Amino acid sequence: MKKSNEVNETVREVLERISFCVVRGKVDISSPHPPEMKGQDGADELAKKALESGVPPGEILARGLIAGMQKVGEKFREGEIYLPDVLMSAKALTSAMKHLRPYFQSGEVKHKGKIVMGTVAGDLHDIGKKIAAMFFEGGGWEVIDLGVDVSADKFIQAVKKHRPLAVGLSALLTTTMVSMESITREIKAKIPEVKVIIGGAPVTQDFAEKIGADAYSPDPQGALDYMNSA
């Protein structure tokens, strides 16, 4: 019994270290960020070692990566960290996810579902969308990222092909909110069962209600929370 408890304690510690690396944005051992963790293993090495030692990939995802990204979302929402910090956390998450993807592809670990994402037609900004995509992926969702300047037809084709639970629309420019509105209306007219989530700097809850979107969030954690409860 003691030996079993020791193993469980070791696993818990490794998962907590992975989570901490995601929160602090520690990508790998060669990464100079953050300075106080210089020369230490990052999310990359820790995820690989955890798999090699027999930790189930689902545990690494749930108790390591998802737990870490939840903390990142909370800190970002409370103003404790800023966009550069979130970008580093996203890089750390990506470095660990590359070791887990084969297990998703083999079916050993199941995704919660799919979400199609894209920046709307006329808008070429994608940093916010990429961060949101990292939150969804780290939260156990399969992300189909259509990129930037995406038309309504392309969104609709992707929905018909992939059958996602939701479509995520991003816009950074006030001038492309018109595209967001027309794309949302066209999606809801042709495929009313799919959820439409919108986000971006100029977007508001009032605008979401006006155009018939199902959800709006000012931050990626809120969008992930919506997906998890949908």
In this structure, how many other beta carbons lie within 10 angstroms of the beta carbon of residue 2?
Answer: 6
pLDDT at 178 exceeding the cut of 70: yes
pLDDT at 4: 47
Is residue 2 very low, low, confident or very high in pLDDT (cuts 50, 70, 90)? very low
| Residues 175, 71 share a domain | no
CA atoms within 13 A on the CB side of 159: 26
pLDDT at 70 exceeding the cut of 70: yes
Peptide bond into 34 cis (omega under 30): yes
Is the Cβ–Cβ distance between 7 and 53 less than 8 Å? no
| Residues 102, 39 share a domain | yes
| Residues 121, 92 share a domain | no
Average pLDDT over residues 196-215: 96
Q: Which of 81, 106, 131 is the last residue of a domain?
A: 106
| Residues 126, 32 share a domain | no
Is the Cβ–Cβ distance between 220 and 73 less than 8 Å? yes
| Residues 153, 94 share a domain | no
Among 96-110, 177-191, 209-223, name the one with the lowest average pLDDT. 96-110
pTM, 2 dp: 0.77
CATH code, 60: 1.10.1240.10
How many structural domains does the chain have? 2
| Residues 213, 168 share a domain | yes
Q: Which of 49, 72, 106 is the last residue of a domain?
A: 106
| Residues 88, 41 share a domain | yes
Average pLDDT over residues 108-119: 92
Domain of 37 in residue numbering reads as 2-106
Mean pLDDT of the chain: 91
Q: Which of 87, 106, 125 is the last residue of a domain?
A: 106
Cα 156 to Cα 118: distance, rounded to the nearest angstrom: 12
| Residues 29, 83 share a domain | yes
Is the Cβ–Cβ distance between 146 and 183 less than 8 Å? no
| Residues 82, 10 share a domain | yes
CATH code, 169: 3.40.50.280
pLDDT at 124 exceeding the cut of 60: yes
Is residue 3 very low, low, confident or very high in pLDDT (cuts 50, 70, 90)? very low
